[in-house]
Amino acid sequence: MNRETHDTVRAVQWTGDHLRLLDQRRLPGESVYLDIPDAAGAAAAIRDMVVRGAPAIGITAAYGVAMAARAAPADTSDWLKALEPDMECLAAARPTAVNLFWALNRMRRVIEANGTDLPSALEAEARRIHEEDLAANRRMGALGAALMGPAGAVLTHCNTGSLATGGYGTALGVIRSAFAAGDIDKVYADETRPWLQGARLTAWELVQDGIPVDLVCEGAAASLMRLGRVGWVVVGADRIAANGDTANKIGTYALAVLARHHGVRFMVVAPTSTIDMETPDGAGIPIEERDASEVLSLGGQPVAAEGAGAWNPAFDVTPAELIDAIVTEKGVVEKPDRAKMTALMK
C-alpha cells in the first residue's frame, strides 16, 4: 500500500488461513472487514456483492477453492471429485465476469496436475493469481497513462479500482498513473445506478488516495462531453469477446455512443484474464439480470411508485467499433477487432 502511487486500499486479503473481505455494501459509511472461512462463504460474498469487480471476484473464487481444499479430509484421493461441489457453487455466484471462470480453471489445472500436498499448491496458486493481478494493473496503469498523455480530466464509470481488483485497479489504475504523472487533474465519476459503485466506491477510493473527484449523475455525461470537459472516457470490463466487444457495467455502452458523437476517446482497461476468446462476439456474453428491487429502492427506501416494475440488467455490451483502445498487461490494442485480439492472445 503506497501513498505515493495513490493506492492505499486492499479489499481482498488472505490471512494465511482464511479470506478477509472489505464489505463493499457498507461503504462509504463504514469500513468493515468480514472473515470468510470457506468456499460457500466466498460464493455468497460474490453473489451478495460484498466483493465485486471482475478481477476481485476471480481472486475471491481462487481463495475459495484453496479454503475448500484445506477443509477436505487429509486422506482425500480424488481431489477433483472432492472439490467439484464447491467449485460449482463458486461458478454459479455471478455469470458475466469471465475472471471467475478463468480463475476456477486455473485452480482446476492445479488439481488435475495432482501433485503432493494439494491444499498448499492451491493456496500458492490463489496467491499467484492475486499477485499477478496487482502486477498486471501496475503495467496497464503505465501503458494506459502513456497512451492517454495530457488529458486534463477524464470520465469513469462504476468502480474499477483497488476495491474491484487485487489492488491499484484497471481503469482506475490508469487514472492513478496518469494523475501521478501530472497528466490528469480531475476525475469525473458516474454515480452508477443502481448500486452506486461510482458514488459509494470510486469517489471513496479516490478521496482516500488524494485524487480530486467530482461525481456526476449518468445523465450529465453528454453535457460534460459537449462542454469539452473530458479528454477520455476510461472504463473497465467484465468480459471481452474475441472480436473486442466488451461487457461492462450497465451504462458503459451509452457512454461509448456519447463519446463517439462528441469526439471523446474511449479506453477499456482490462487484464487478459478478462478476455474470453471462446465467445466470438458480444451477443454470446451472458448478461446478469438482478432483482427489480435494486432499481425500485435505494438504501432500503422505496424510490418508485408502488406497483411499478423494473428491468435491471447489471451489464451491457459496447461494440468493438466504439472502442478506441483496449489496454491489457500484454499490450495496447487500438481500434480492436478479431485479428488484433487473436494476435494479442497468442
The residues annotated as belonging to the active site are 238
Site string for ligand MRU, 33-72 (x = CB under 6 A): -------------------xxxx-----------------
Nearest C-alpha neighbor of 174 from the set 211, 209, 137, 122: 137
> Which helix or strand (DSSP H or E) is residue 119 part of?
helix 118-148
Q: Pairing between strand 232-235 and 213-216?
A: unpaired
From CA 32, how far away is CA 12, in angstroms rounded?
A: 12
Of the residues 158, 230, 275, 333, which one makes contact with ligand MRU according to CB under 6 A: 158
Site for ligand MRU contains 285 (CB under 6 A): no
Vertex 330, ends 154 and 232: CA angle to 5°?
Answer: 10
Nearest C-alpha neighbor of 232 from the set 170, 175, 173: 175
Residue 259 DSSP SS3:
helix
Task: Kindly tell me which of 197 and 243 has the beta carbon lying closer to ligand MRU.
Answer: 197
Q: DSSP per residue over 152-221, as a string?
A: EEEEE-S--SGGGSSSS-SHHHHHHHHHHTTSEEEEEEE--TTTTIIIIIIHHHHHHTT--EEEE-GGGH
Integer CA distances (angstroms), 188 to 153, 315, 318, in order: 7, 20, 20
Site for ligand MRU contains 238 (CB under 6 A): yes
CB 53, min distance to ligand MRU, A:
4
Site for ligand MRU contains 160 (CB under 6 A): yes
Residue 13 DSSP SS3:
strand
Of the residues 162, 165, 279, 318, which one makes contact with ligand MRU according to CB under 6 A: 165
CB 80, min distance to ligand MRU, A:
29
CB 313, min distance to ligand MRU, A:
11
Site for ligand MRU contains 248 (CB under 6 A): yes
| Binding region for ligand MRU (CB under 6 A) out of 63-71, 159-167, 212-220, 223-231 | 159-167
Site for ligand MRU in 89-148 (CB under 6 A): 97
Of the residues 184, 314, 323, 325, which one makes contact with ligand MRU according to CB under 6 A: 314
CB 75, min distance to ligand MRU, A:
39
CB 305, min distance to ligand MRU, A:
26
Task: Kindly tell me which of 41 and 236 has the beta carbon lying closer to ligand MRU.
Answer: 236
CB 13, min distance to ligand MRU, A:
17
**Is the backbone of residue 173 left (phi > 0), alpha (psi -120 to 50) or beta?**
alpha
Of the residues 68, 90, 140, 164, which one makes contact with ligand MRU according to CB under 6 A: 164
Q: How many binding residues for ligand MRU (CB under 6 A)?
A: 17
Task: Kindly tell me which of 83 and 164 has the beta carbon lying closer to ligand MRU.
Answer: 164
CB 319, min distance to ligand MRU, A:
17
Q: Print burial letters for 291-303: b (CB count within 10 Å at least 16), e (below 16).
A: eeeebbeeeeeee
Of the residues 60, 197, 202, 243, which one makes contact with ligand MRU according to CB under 6 A: 197
From CA 175, how far away is CA 152, in angstroms rounded?
A: 11
Task: Kindly tell me which of 69 and 189 has the beta carbon lying closer to ligand MRU.
Answer: 189
Alpha helices in 78-117 (DSSP H): 79-91, 98-113
171 within 8 A of 326, measured Cβ to Cβ: no
Site for ligand MRU contains 155 (CB under 6 A): no
Site for ligand MRU contains 317 (CB under 6 A): no
Site for ligand MRU contains 236 (CB under 6 A): yes
Q: Pairing between strand 325-328 and 33-36?
A: unpaired
User: Which residues lie near ligand MRU (CB under 6 A)?
Assistant: 52-55, 97, 158, 160, 164-165, 170, 197, 236-238, 248-249, 314
